[in-house]
Amino acid sequence: MPARWSPSVTVAAIIERDGRYLLVEEETPEGLRLNNPAGHLDPGESPQQGVAREALEETARVFVPEHLVGVYLSRFQRPARGEDVTYVRFAFGGAVGEPDPTRALDEGIVRTLWMTPAEVRASQARHRSALVLRCIEDHAAGRRFPLDLVHADPSLVTPEIKSGT
């Protein structure tokens, strides 16, 4: 029986202020890349909790998700390392506070920067994935879905236990 396919679930914060989007510049195996504040969903957390945590870790700013921008599938291959990963990304738009000067950025994050959609488009060669621009384009086009579209069952925290009887 072949191994079960297990996509990696990620969350991304699509943060816009005055026509500019907040991105992070981060170290990757492919060099310095631009990304939306994003990362992997941790066990036991909802996508909304995960995106708030990731945004705080990567930008030192409190992020409050207000709407879902979209759910995306993408595939990334790194043949030299034998990696072939499919990602499911939940992208959320919302409000962000000012940076906390006492908080360090997550390991690998070099800096945060605000970019216009035109600047984001012009920097595509430096994007961590094609989803960076796609999520910004969708947000700029007005894609907004209610947060309750993504339901996190309480079993995430307290798993259901089935009895054998």
Calpha distance 145→71 (Å, rounded): 10
Task: Please report which residue ranges of 80-130 form alpha helices under DSSP H.
Answer: 117-122
Average pLDDT over residues 45-57: 98
Asked whether 128 and 28 are in contact (CB, 8 A), the reply is yes
120 closest CA partner among 111, 109, 110, 131: 131
The pLDDT tens digits for 61-102 are: 999 999 999 999 999 987 778 888 899 999 999 999 999 999
List the chain domain ranges.
8-145
CATH homologous superfamily of 8-145 equals Nucleoside Triphosphate Pyrophosphohydrolase (3.90.79.10)
Claim: this prediction has a pTM higher than 0.85: yes
pLDDT bin (cut points 50, 70, 90) of residue 143 is very high
